[in-house]
């Protein structure tokens, strides 16, 4: 990766050695491997631990989970919030585990649509809930910093499974839960 980054920098006109860029290829390679794309080294299913859900457990909603990802089309970042809801069956996820699942998928090159579907698929597969829904709201720098340059634009995607995929009334109820605003919300 370092050599490819060095070649990229040289292709845009930067030169070595002895200037501020000497260590840049190593720093960039480390940032991409250890942070931006660390999701390739993580198995999302393994991030989702659970315990037995209490009888009659209602919906569980986790809102405003910060995430960042890299657009597979332009290798530019997109970032925002994931709002995740599920209706437990027999399994109840550890609260922090939902955020870990979001990160495990987001820290790979993605499209937002695929990311939203992957989060739902993992929760559905591991927890076997009666319903699951994810709504992601994100700003894409491939749209705000290049091309059309629409600074305030945001994209919203929704994916569902179980009862929240097949029953429109139940889905509307789940969407209302993730859209609910309280004093802790960021926006």
Where do the domains of the chain lie?
Answer: 2-36, 45-179
Whether residue 93 has pLDDT greater than 70: yes
Whether residue 162 has pLDDT greater than 80: yes
Structure tokens given for 164:
């929240």
Output DSSP code: residue 126.
H
Structure tokens given for 63:
């809102």
Kindly report the pTM of this predicted structure. 0.91
- Condensed to tens digits (0 to 9), the pLDDT of residues 62-76 reads 999 999 999 999 999
Average pLDDT, the chain: 92
- Condensed to tens digits (0 to 9), the pLDDT of residues 6-29 reads 999 999 988 776 667 888 999 999
CATH topology of domain 45-179: GTP Cyclohydrolase I, domain 2 (3.30.1130)
Whether residue 183 has pLDDT greater than 50: no
């Amino acid at each position: 990766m370092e050599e490819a980054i060095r070649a990229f920098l040289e292709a845009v006109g930067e030169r070595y050695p002895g200037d501020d860029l000497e260590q840049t290829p190593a720093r960039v390679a480390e940032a991409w491997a250890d942070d931006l794309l660390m999701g390739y080294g993580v198995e999302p299913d393994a991030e989702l631990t659970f315990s037995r859900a209490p009888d009659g457990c209602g919906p569980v909603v986790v809102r405003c989970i910060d995430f960042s990802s890299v657009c597979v089309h332009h290798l530019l970042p997109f970032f925002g919030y994931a709002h995740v809801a599920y209706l437990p069956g027999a399994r109840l996820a550890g609260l922090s585990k939902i955020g870990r699942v979001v990160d495990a998928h987001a820290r790979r090159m993605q499209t937002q649509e695929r990311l939203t579907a992957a989060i739902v698929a993992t929760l559905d597969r591991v927890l076997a809930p009666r319903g699951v829904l994810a709504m992601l709201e994100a700003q894409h720098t491939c749209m705000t910093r290049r091309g059309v340059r629409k600074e305030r634009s945001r994209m919203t995607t929704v994916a569902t499974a179980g009862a929240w995929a097949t029953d429109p009334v139940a889905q509307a109820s789940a969407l209302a839960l993730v859209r609910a605003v309280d004093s802790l919300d960021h926006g």
